[in-house]
Amino acid sequence: MQESIVTQNTAGQSMLNDDVALLDRIRDLVLGGDYTPGTALSEVKLAEYFEVSRTPVREALKQLQIEGLVEIRPKVGTFVREITRREILEMFEVKETLEGMAARLMARRGHIPELDALRANVEASELAVQRDDSAAYASLVHDFHETIVAGSDNRKLAEHYRTLMNQLAYHRLVLRSVQHPGRLAASTAEHRRVLELIAQKDGVGAELAMKDHVWSSAREVMMDSVPRQD
């Protein structure tokens, strides 16, 4: 079972990036979605595919277990974990809180470079909505949230946020839900609202607006991207 480790499309680009951390490459493999939950991830197979020994593969898998993406059953094997609907809901709750916090912290900082970046981002998003360019939009959404987290100027918050997003495989979820025509415009309006509240240094308002926004998009994503699996 499970003859080839990876699909052809990723094999094409795996020629020159050898300094990229093995951990990230294996994580992308797991998040890539080619594996259904329960699939075995053999140390040996992965080592052969990535042309390294079992030791670094093992270290990476151990980390992925801590991140919650795989499950290592001692002396049995390593398997792609099933992420339950409940877990995704919990992650969105944490996401809502962390991003709300980030908006609040950024608002109290006054005029900083990230604010200009945010304004540029929202304006680009509005253009993307007009052109109905959902690919560009998905990328801009990602940047919007990253910019606010960076603008919070709290590195620990940023670390927790990054960990969370890795577990959520958020980008993949968004790509599917962003297709909804109505949601695109609504989401952008919410972005602008958050931006304006931050610009007005209204920390509490920005936090609430951000939480509302996260929750709206969570609802949207949970609707059609996350199957009822338990």
Partner DNA sequence: CGATGCTCTCTTGCATGGTAGAAACTCTAT
Partner DNA sequence: ATAGAGTTTCTACCATGCAAGAGAGCATCG
Interface positions with its own copies (CB under 8 A):
55, 58-59, 62-63, 66, 68, 87, 90-91, 93-94, 97-98, 101, 105, 154-157, 159-160, 163-164, 167
Q: Of DNA, its own copies, none, which one sits near residue 40, judging by CB under 5 to 8 A according to partner kind? A: DNA
Residue closer to its own copies by CB (options 86, 130) is 86
- Any idea which residue has 């972005």 for tokens? 191
Match 């992650």 to its residue by tokens.
91
Query: Which residue lies nearer to DNA by CB, 55 or 200?
Result: 55
Nearest CA among 138, 87, 94, 108 for reference residue 203: 108
Query: Position 230: which residue type?
Result: D
Q: What's the closest the beta carbon of residue 66 comes to its own copies, in angstroms?
A: 7
Contacted by 143, from DNA, its own copies, none: CB < 5 to 8 Å by type: none
Would you say 32 or 56 has its CB closer to DNA?
A: 56
The least CB distance from residue 1 to its own copies, in Å, is 28
- Where along the sequence are the contacts to DNA (CB under 7 A)? 40-45, 52-56, 58, 62, 72-78
Q: Measured from the CB of residue 109, what is the shortest distance to its own copies in angstroms?
A: 13
Shortest distance (Å) from residue 157 CB to its own copies: 6
Residue type, position 133, single letter: D
The item of its own copies, DNA, none sharing an interface with residue 131, based on CB under 5 to 8 Å by kind, is: none
Residue 40's beta-bridge partner residues? 79
144 vs 156: CA distance, rounded Å: 19
**Nearest-approach distance from CB 168 to its own copies, in angstroms:** 10
Give the angle 173-97-82 at the CA atoms, nearest 5°: 40
How many of the other CB atoms lie within 10 Å of CB of 74? 5
Place of tokens 């093995």: 22
What is the three-state SS of 113-149?
Answer: HHHHHHHHHHHHHHHHHHHCCHHHHHHHHHHHHHHHH
DSSP-derived letter for residue 42 is: -
With CB cut-offs between 5 and 8 Å by kind, which of DNA, its own copies, none does residue 42 bind? DNA
Between 44 and 120, name the residue whose CB sits nearer to DNA.
44
Shortest reach from residue 160's CB to its own copies, in Å = 5
Quote the radius of gyration of the chain (alpha carbons, Å).
19
